[in-house]
Amino acid sequence: MINYHEAQKLIEEQTKPLIAIKLPLMETLGYTLAENIFTKHPIPMFNSSAVDGFAVNVNDLHLPSSKNPVSLKVQAVIQTGDTRKHSLKKNHTFGIMTGAVIPRNVDAIVMKEDVAEIDGTVIFKTLPKVGINIRGRGRELSKGDLVLSSGTIITPPVLGLLASLGHATVKVYRKPKVSVIVTGNELKKFSERVKIGQIRDSNLPSLLAALQSLGIQAEYGMIVKDQKSKIKKAIHKTLRKSDIIITAGGVSVGDYDFVKDVCSSLGIKTVFWRVAIKPGKPLFFGTKCKKLIFGVPGNPVAALLSFYLFIKPTLLRMMGQTEKQNIIQTAVLESDLKKRAGRLEFVRGILIKKPDGKLVVNPTKGQDSHMIGGLANANCLIHFPKEENFISKGSIVKVELMNWVEQ
Ligand code: AMP
Ligand code: MG
């Protein structure tokens, strides 16, 4: 059985960013830039006022003071958006709004709050510095500067910057097409009645939601019975339209666990089956041409953690986010942990910061693989190393923060 890092590496070797596509700007949120963005003109494009106030030529103010204020006549008021060319006459001032173009002969803007206005005349009591309150052309960026690098995630501010640069379309990495197939004769939709012996399917909703949190709407999501022919039909059908298929359940050693057999009958090459981790040991990973197939175990915690630890990083890499990794830090364990040596265990935990700044972690209640409550109430995973069987209270442990809703 391979270990966690070997499994991660084998998956990584099969994963590359998908091709770049051009999308209208407003459809790019959450995608990754597939091009470097350079400025086509200086930013800002023109000198403008940084405040609402009065535009002056400092030479017209002859050292004003509160005892000897200087009055200037208002020549006109310049609104933001005014595209006309204005020129200041001697011993005059313009009323000017934030963002309006600086007229000719103006070298300072005095804030409205610092002057008195009487009948079309403005009284100045202090001498402004040359250049004050003027946003200079090109002060932020010069023409041809690199503003955003390929690989940047398009967040609202990035999108705003692209808009301000006039990018109506943007080159981004395509998002993977993903289908989810959950297997099990016992499964009913969450909206249906269940009899003793049946359970409500939680894997399809939670896996679809996990995809949604990355901005991916699954191509297909289906519940299939534990029958070879039905599983085969489902995988065959979805394979054509997907880059990734996630199956859940039926991948262990039970008499009705058919996923692996079906995969091989469809020409899917097994890269690995079983990883020395808990939960999630029976994880299957296979490929067919460039398509990836993840067979996650059916226990809800194992299914979701397999997604979190292996599938999510894969999706992010395909989306061009090569740098993104889960954050691992250390904390003080507040209760003893026990297990059998041989598998790396991801103990679901609650990490908190004490008032003195110390990070402490406690396992949640319900640590079995079928107890989704223990995962739902956790905010982190405590890494319980493979060869260890006991960690005492007070020890320093590695803790991986879980972030299910993006980022
Ligand atoms: P399996 O991996 O198919 O052997 O299933 C392992 C355990 O997970 C069994 O107790 C199943 O009933 C349960 N299980 C499988 N699929 C789901 C599902 N979609 N939702 C909730 N529990 C499931
Ligand atoms: Mg099953």
Residues 253 and 299: beta-carbon distance below 8 Å: no
Record: fold of 4-18+175-318: Molybdenum Cofactor Biosythetic Enzyme; Chain A (3.40.980)
Residues 32 and 321: beta-carbon distance below 8 Å: yes
Cα–ligand 1 centroid distance for 338 (angstroms): 25
pLDDT 10s digits, 82-118? 999 999 999 999 999 999 999 999 999 999 999 999 9
Reported confidence tier of residue 66, pLDDT bands at 50, 70, 90: confident
Over range 11-35, report the average pLDDT: 96
What are the distances in angstroms from CA 375 to CA 134, 206, 316, 346?
A: 55, 12, 22, 10
Residue 371 has phi, psi (to 5 degrees) of: -95, 90
Reported confidence tier of residue 322, pLDDT bands at 50, 70, 90: confident
Over range 274-279, report the average pLDDT: 98
Ligand 1-lining residues (CB < 6 angstroms): 182, 184, 186-187, 199, 201-204, 248-250, 252, 254, 257, 297-300, 370
Record: fold of 20-41+139-173: Molybdopterin biosynthesis moea protein, domain 2 (3.90.105)
Residues 33 and 172: beta-carbon distance below 8 Å: yes
In the chain, where does the domain assigned CATH 3.40.980.10 lie? 4-18+175-318
d(CA 38, CA 21): 18
16: pLDDT strictly greater than 70 = yes
In the chain, where does the domain assigned CATH 2.170.190.11 lie? 48-135
Over range 42-63, report the average pLDDT: 95
Cα–ligand 1 centroid distance for 58 (angstroms): 78
Percent of the chain with pLDDT over 90: 95
Q: Out of 192, 208, 284, 299, give the residue to mutate to test ligand 1, the one with the largest number of ligand atoms within 8 Å of its CB.
A: 299
Record: fold of 328-401: Beta-clip (2.40.340)
Amino acid at 268: I
Closest ligand to 296 CA? 1
407: pLDDT strictly greater than 60 = no
Percent of the chain with pLDDT over 70: 99
Q: What is the pLDDT of residue 162?
A: 96
Q: What is the pLDDT of residue 324?
A: 64
Work out the mean pLDDT of the chain and round it to a whole number. 96
40-44, 65-69, 137-141, 351-355: the lowest-pLDDT one: 65-69
Cα–ligand 2 centroid distance for 258 (angstroms): 9
Residue 115 has phi, psi (to 5 degrees) of: -130, 170
Superfamily in which the 48-135 domain is placed by CATH: Molybdopterin biosynthesis moea protein, domain 3. (2.170.190.11)
In the chain, where does the domain assigned CATH 3.90.105.10 lie? 20-41+139-173
Cα–ligand 1 centroid distance for 299 (angstroms): 5
Give 165's DSSP letter. Answer: T
In the chain, where does the domain assigned CATH 2.40.340.10 lie? 328-401
| Structure tokens that stand for 38 in this block | 């350079």
Q: What is the pLDDT of residue 67?
A: 84
Exposed/middle/buried for residue 52 (C-beta within 10 Å: 0-12, 13-18, 19+) = middle
